[in-house]
Structure 1
Amino acid sequence: MSLPNELVDSIVENLYSDRATLRNCALVGRAWVHYSQRGIFREIVLRLPISSEADYTTLSDVYLKVTGRLIALFDAKPHLATYVQSLALQKFMVPIPNQELHANFYITTASVKLYTATADVIQRLSSVKNLSFSSVYWDCIPPFFQATLSSLFRVPSLTQVSFAHFHIPTFLELASLLSDVKNLKVLKVEAKLLYTGVDDVPDDSILESEETPRSIQLTELELLEVHHFISWFQQDSCPFEVRHLQSLTVGGLDFLKTIALVQHVGRNLRELRLMNLQQIDLNNYLEYTPNLQVLHLGHLFQMDSSTPVPIIQSLFRPLLKQDGNEFPLQRLTIDLTILMRSNPLQIDHWDEWTAIDTLLLRPEFAPLKTVGFKLGPLAPYKGVVEFFSGKLPFLVGAGKLVVA
């Protein structure tokens, strides 16, 4: 008995993380081939071998064989290349002994072959939606490969770009690349961007874009430890409109600049993730997010001598001035890292969490459905989850508390 195509599609979609099974599914029958191939080629990760690795030669040979097979497949069956929706580029750099990254660098014949093979793969991809960079040194890759990567930013299907440890000479060059992504919806800067040249901030007189100001509508933005974007987004000539964001993640930024960004984009936010909060005076954040439904507080620390409870109280304090009006928040998640020298069950600071239990009992937070705590790895100390839950009796009784 044959299954409906919709059911086959649903089954295969749940196997996207298991390529071995997907390859077996492709052999089941003709109806399964299309859906299985779409899963197999959905994401490509290209990690360049590094010359300092002991088995560099072997890794390079394997890389060239794999990219060669991909090129042959895409040439023989061009529709397979259209299935590639996500492309991740990792470790694209040339080691430069005893030199600064922006100095002149050498490229060996072997590395040119690797970059050429990678470029040949990329040039066959026309439907990439998600592009991510990890440990990429823009000023240490050959010019022809820079041109190939630049062309990726102009692919019409591209809607999401992510950076993690991306090195580029100036912010202006990065801003220029991003301005070419006409349909960008999601921008994630998950770790530091490093500028190896002038630490510049674009202004209207320097950065020129062919794109109409505010014509690119971002819906999701993640910025960690990056200041330049905040200034750029508020400039009249910026091609990105961020005032209609649905989701924002910020962390590690200057406190005043972070507040300015939340104030600038907060009215339409449905989800806000605040990472590495350290300021006690947080009275301005949630006043600017009247439609917030999901709040995630990340990287808070419970220590022998301190607790993040005052930070959380300060964050919610402005909402208590609303004369009982409900705040629309439905889900609160707190990542709590416990750093203690002694047994955490013997620390007095746990008692302060009862204040959060009382706070969330107020009528302003009636829409709140779930309060989740992630306590991190605490295997040596049994009973921590139960002990912590005991400090939050209201949330437990209301069935709202989830502790893991």
Structure 2
Amino acid sequence: MAITVPHEIIEYILDNLHSEKAILSNCALVQKSWAISAQRGLFQHITLKFPNTYHEDFDELATAYNERNEQLIQTFDRKPFLMVCVRTLELKQFGQIVPGNFVHRKEMLFTSTTQLIKRLHNLKSLLFFQGRWDLLSLELQEALMHLFNQPSLTRVTLSFFSILSLQNLASLLSQATNLQVLKLHFPHCYDWGCPTTPPIDHPSRSIRLDQSLCVRSRNIRAKFVTWFQHDSCPFEIRELRSLELDVIKPPNDAEFASMLRYTGGHLQDLILHGPFDDQPSGLLHIGLFHDLRNLVMLNALQRAALTPVPWILSFFRPSQETERETSSLRQLTISLFIDDVDIHGTHQWDAWTAVDVLFTEHQFMSLETVKIELLGQLLLVLREIKDILIGKMPILNGTGKLEVEIPNEGESNMKKIKAIILS
């Protein structure tokens, strides 16, 4: 007996296959009723990658890039409804210096990219990876500014993105008036001077950035961190739900703690990048956050003579700045990178006993899970360390709250099994 699946379910399935281009292409040919949904998935995410200017076949790569863009432009002009289907645009490697003998090619590439971008009117997410704003043509800059101005744009990611000044970066980002998620991965400004006035037509705190903010950079200037609290900043981040930052070391850790205090009122998820190898200053602690539910500590470093435990204890030590007797934290995840350890010197793990005792205190009664992910060593070594670490934390382990994991351990086992079968 044939089973008929409602068309609404078919559409839902096709909408969630946007990363499976080959499958969607086949689905578009099954029957007419599937075609529009499949086509919508095919065009949901577009990636434009600038050809490698130092590749020996750069001329051929540039020609292929332009031809692909021309095909997309013709498709959009022939079927205008597909332009609205594009929700994510990813731009890669638009920060390359083009050799003098290929300058004409560069202009053609920029023109092709500009013509395509001008046809996008319903963008939700914009990703810019390895870009230099000052190397783009004025026409391409204007087309990108038009994308930032689209009311539908709510997510922006800039990775290894260079721009002349923090003032220019602020001006660019402030065009996205409905921005909810902002990710800045290792941004670079030649001038980090903090803007003293809000961007034109975008008053202070006029953009409610309330979902997620990520600022990654080990050497980021303190002025950039404090800019989000400055009167000139167009973003309101005091209702932020998720924050991801690299921990800033002295002497700028005071500015870092000030920002966390500023955003801590409604923060539920916090991701901190270590290695947490310095002696803690005590400025950063759980008392800065009222509603924190999930804390992730990445790149925590464990060596024979170094452990992140003092940093952890300092962070969770009860603070005089809060009158709350209990923490709202439910899950703590620590990504522990193991380096230069003596597997037989179990004393180097003794400090973790203090962590075990700490989380038995009444203040952390809401804590449900302490997950420790072990990285950086051979699988057999990590398994032995896993047993040692569990042995140092008997109380948490006894309550069922402790989870010590080796990521991809199952995948490693499967590779071994496949190797045995093939041999």
TM-score (norm 1): 0.90
User: 1:180 Cα shift?
Assistant: 0.9
User: 1:141 Cα shift?
Assistant: 1.7
Residue 231 (structure 1) aligned to one of 218, 221, 226: 226
Is 1:203 matched up with 2:196?
yes
Match of 1:387 in 2: 388
User: 1:209 Cα shift?
Assistant: 2.4
Is 1:260 matched up with 2:258?
yes
Match of 2:206 in 1: 215
Match of 1:302 in 2: 302
Match of 2:413 in 1: none
Conserved? CA contact 1:283–1:317, under 8 Å: no
Task: Give the secondary-structure state (helix, strand or coil) at the position aligned to 1:375.
Answer: strand
Match of 2:368 in 1: 369
How many residue pairs get aligned? The number is 392
Is 1:312 matched up with 2:307?
no
Match of 1:194 in 2: 188
- Whole-angstrom CA distance in 1 between matches of 2:140 and 2:77: 21
Alpha carbons of 1:314 and 1:149: their partners in 2 closer, same or farther (altered >3 Å)? same
Alpha carbons of 1:43 and 1:263: their partners in 2 closer, same or farther (altered >3 Å)? same
Match of 1:331 in 2: 331
- Whole-angstrom CA distance in 1 between matches of 2:93 and 2:47: 11
Is 1:165 matched up with 2:156?
no
Deviates more, 1:182-191 or 1:51-60: 51-60
Residue 82 (structure 1) aligned to one of 81, 84, 88: 84
Alpha carbons of 1:386 and 1:80: their partners in 2 closer, same or farther (altered >3 Å)? farther
- Whole-angstrom CA distance in 1 between matches of 2:348 and 2:48: 47
Alpha carbons of 1:54 and 1:106: their partners in 2 closer, same or farther (altered >3 Å)? closer
Task: Give the secondary-structure state (helix, strand or coil) at the position aligned to 1:176.
Answer: helix
Q: What value does the CA root-mean-square deviation take over the aligned residues? A: 2.3
Match of 1:147 in 2: 142
Task: Give the secondary-structure state (helix, strand or coil) at the position aligned to 1:92.
Answer: coil
Match of 2:180 in 1: 185
Match of 1:11 in 2: 13
Partner deviation per Cα, 1:98-131 (whole Å, 9 max, x = no partner): xxxxxxx997111111111111111111111111
Match of 1:357 in 2: 356
User: 1:378 Cα shift?
Assistant: 2.9
- Whole-angstrom CA distance in 1 between matches of 2:233 and 2:101: 36
Partner deviation per Cα, 1:265-309 (whole Å, 9 max, x = no partner): 111111111112345123443212011111111111001211101
Match of 1:33 in 2: 35
Identity level (%): 34
Match of 1:101 in 2: none
Conserved? CA contact 2:226–2:259, under 8 Å: no
Q: Give the AA of the match of 1:201.
A: C
Match of 1:22 in 2: 24
In structure 1, runs of 5+ residues without a counterpart are 98-104
Task: Give the secondary-structure state (helix, strand or coil) at the position aligned to 2:156.
Answer: strand
Alpha carbons of 1:237 and 1:106: their partners in 2 closer, same or farther (altered >3 Å)? farther
- Whole-angstrom CA distance in 1 between matches of 2:183 and 2:213: 6
Task: Give the secondary-structure state (helix, strand or coil) at the position aligned to 2:92.
Answer: strand
In structure 2, runs of 5+ residues without a counterpart are 407-423
Alpha carbons of 1:115 and 1:395: their partners in 2 closer, same or farther (altered >3 Å)? same
Deviates more, 1:278-287 or 1:292-301: 278-287
Partner deviation per Cα, 1:77-105 (whole Å, 9 max, x = no partner): 111121111111111024267xxxxxxx9
Alpha carbons of 1:399 and 1:18: their partners in 2 closer, same or farther (altered >3 Å)? farther
Conserved? CA contact 1:327–1:364, under 8 Å: yes
Conserved? CA contact 1:293–1:330, under 8 Å: yes
Alpha carbons of 1:264 and 1:324: their partners in 2 closer, same or farther (altered >3 Å)? closer
- Whole-angstrom CA distance in 1 between matches of 2:279 and 2:36: 52
Conserved? CA contact 1:343–1:381, under 8 Å: no
Alpha carbons of 1:188 and 1:385: their partners in 2 closer, same or farther (altered >3 Å)? same
Task: Give the secondary-structure state (helix, strand or coil) at the position aligned to 2:351.
Answer: helix
User: 1:321 Cα shift?
Assistant: 9.7
Alpha carbons of 1:215 and 1:394: their partners in 2 closer, same or farther (altered >3 Å)? same
- Whole-angstrom CA distance in 1 between matches of 2:235 and 2:209: 7
Match of 1:250 in 2: 245
User: 1:320 Cα shift?
Assistant: 9.7
User: 1:186 Cα shift?
Assistant: 0.9
- Whole-angstrom CA distance in 1 between matches of 2:241 and 2:355: 27
Conserved? CA contact 2:254–2:283, under 8 Å: no
Match of 1:102 in 2: none
